[in-house]
Amino acid sequence: MGNRPDDLRALLDSVAAQEGDPVEVVVVGQGTPVTGVPDGVRTVDLPENVGIPAGRNVGIEAFGPGGTDVDVLLFLDDDGLLAHTDTAELVRQAFTADPRLGIISFRIADPETGATQRRHVPRLRASDPMRSSRVTTFLGGANAVRTKVFAEVGGLPDEFFYAHEETDLAWRALDADWMIDYRADMVLLHPTTAPSRHASYHFNVARNRVWLARRNLPAPLVPAYLGVWLLLTLARRPSVPALKAWCGGFRAGWTTPCGPRRPMRWRTVWRLTRLGRPPVV
């Protein structure tokens, strides 16, 4: 969004320093012109902030329809920094070794402490962020996606704007028999932050979770999934303003269009369960 030029330049430098074949780069400006980037970096200037998933979809299309000019796309937050110079090569090796691997979620670590926040480990058993594993979702700001996934299941849901768009894509990918890995050795350095810093956080989280269920879950699991998350939200004892925003988002999730409904197969429900996260939590 044009407010972190130094961070963006550091990220681009870390991408340029990757070993192996050069990584093509596109920077998407959300309502602001992109300036000050190195030669060879392509830019796309959007007239307004269209949200995280829509902005990333624009970036995908910059590499041809559905990103088909390339085999793999990396998505990196502009205030992040690749910690090692072999990350791109590790990504290439991982996708080459496993033809059914569709998405890789990187480990996010604080640049000063090296710590990884629990919310940045995309599985329920998140106490050991150094353990790589198969997972059921991924981190939006630090990941790699095989472009065949987009060709098969579509892109990120534009209407989500922010929150849960990664899980929506992950569930569709898993339902199409792709796999997702969390890799602790692929590291993006990123300052520790709280997701609630976004003004619309509580509203979007609630609305999009309802949309996520309505779009992707078999009908019997929709009330189970949303009921569990309602109880978890109340157990966390949010502030009164946060709870009001959450309730408004929950209501909007039921009363506004969520996009096409394509419920996952029951075999996918079982796969999610075997991977450690049944789609009720």
pLDDT tens string 32-73? 999 999 999 999 999 999 999 999 999 999 999 999 999 999
As a whole-number percent, the residues of the chain with pLDDT over 70 amount to 99
φ/ψ bin of 154: left (φ > 0), alpha (ψ from -120 to 50), beta (otherwise): left
What's the confidence (pLDDT) of residue 194? 75
What pLDDT band is residue 148 in, cutting at 50, 70 and 90?
A: very high
What's the confidence (pLDDT) of residue 257? 96
User: Is the pLDDT confidence value at 79 over 70?
Assistant: yes
What pLDDT band is residue 196 in, cutting at 50, 70 and 90?
A: low
The pLDDT of 16-31, averaged and rounded, is: 97
Average pLDDT, the chain: 95
User: Is the pLDDT confidence value at 197 over 60?
Assistant: no
β pairing state of 101-109 and 179-189: parallel
The pLDDT of 202-216, averaged and rounded, is: 97
SS (H, E, C) 46-104: ECCCCCHHHHHHHHHHCCCHHHCCCCEEEEECCCCEECCCCHHHHHHHHHHHCCCEEEE
What pLDDT band is residue 3 in, cutting at 50, 70 and 90?
A: confident
What pLDDT band is residue 199 in, cutting at 50, 70 and 90?
A: low
- In 10 A of CB 10, how many CB atoms? 17
Residue type, 19: E
Cα 258 from Cα 252, distance rounded (Å) = 10
What's the confidence (pLDDT) of residue 244? 95
- In this structure, are residues 19 and 85 in contact, taking their beta carbons and an 8 Å threshold? yes
The pLDDT of 226-248, averaged and rounded, is: 95
User: pLDDT, tens digit, for every residue of 50-59?
Assistant: 999 999 999 9
